[in-house]
Amino acid sequence: MNEPLFLAERLAAGDPDPEALAWLANGLRRFLAGAAPLDVCLRLTASNRIATRNRALIRAAGILDADQHLPPWELADRLRQAVNRFETVTWKRIQAGAQDPLSPLQSALRDAFASGAKPLTSQRRLYELINCQAA
């Protein structure tokens, strides 16, 4: 995944991933050239965090809906349940350092939570997100 937050996590973990190093070097070049503040040059702004979260939630919705073609309101409720379950169990374990293998759904939700943006936990907000993508 080439999202800025995940590239930063790779580098912080000591992973000299070429993609992460290129992202950091490019952002620092732009910052040193005076293009914008560092968070903007590295694409670590609040709007980037929200966009990362939303893409991950849409991915999670796609996994939940796999070939079922659920109505958006019902899909939003299933996603809400998955988000709540993930937040109360899996996310706490991840934050405590657990390295358990994750399902594709859990991976998408981990990406949403790791974005740093406030999690969407209401059916209405998730419905709005899903409906925007369908339009």
Say if residue 57 is in the same domain as residue 33.
no
Say if residue 33 is in the same domain as residue 60.
no
Say if residue 75 is in the same domain as residue 120.
yes
Say if residue 52 is in the same domain as residue 28.
no
Say if residue 30 is in the same domain as residue 58.
no
Examine the pLDDT at 126 and tell me if it is beyond 80: yes
Q: How confident is the model at residue 134 (pLDDT cuts 50, 70, 90)?
A: low
Say if residue 57 is in the same domain as residue 109.
yes
Say if residue 50 is in the same domain as residue 112.
yes
Region 99-118: what's the mean pLDDT? 93
In the chain, the number of structural domains is 2
pLDDT at position 1, please? 55
Say if residue 98 is in the same domain as residue 50.
yes
**In angstroms, rounded to a whole number, what is the distance separating the alpha carbons of residues 111 and 18?**
21
Say if residue 26 is in the same domain as residue 9.
yes
Examine the pLDDT at 15 and tell me if it is beyond 90: no
pLDDT at position 3, please? 82
Beta-carbon contacts of 17 under 8 Å, excluding residues fewer than 6 positions away, are 7, 10, 11
- Residue-range definition of the domain harbouring residue 90: 46-134
pLDDT tens digits, 20-34 = 999 999 999 999 999
**In angstroms, rounded to a whole number, what is the distance separating the alpha carbons of residues 124 and 77?**
9
Say if residue 8 is in the same domain as residue 53.
no
pLDDT tens digits, 57-81 = 999 999 999 888 899 999 999 999 9
pLDDT at position 12, please? 87
Percent of the residues in the chain that have a pLDDT greater than 70, as a whole number: 97
pLDDT at position 127, please? 97
Say if residue 56 is in the same domain as residue 109.
yes
Residue 108: closest CA among 32, 53, 35:
53
CA angle (116 as vertex; 112, 119 as ends), nearest 5: 55
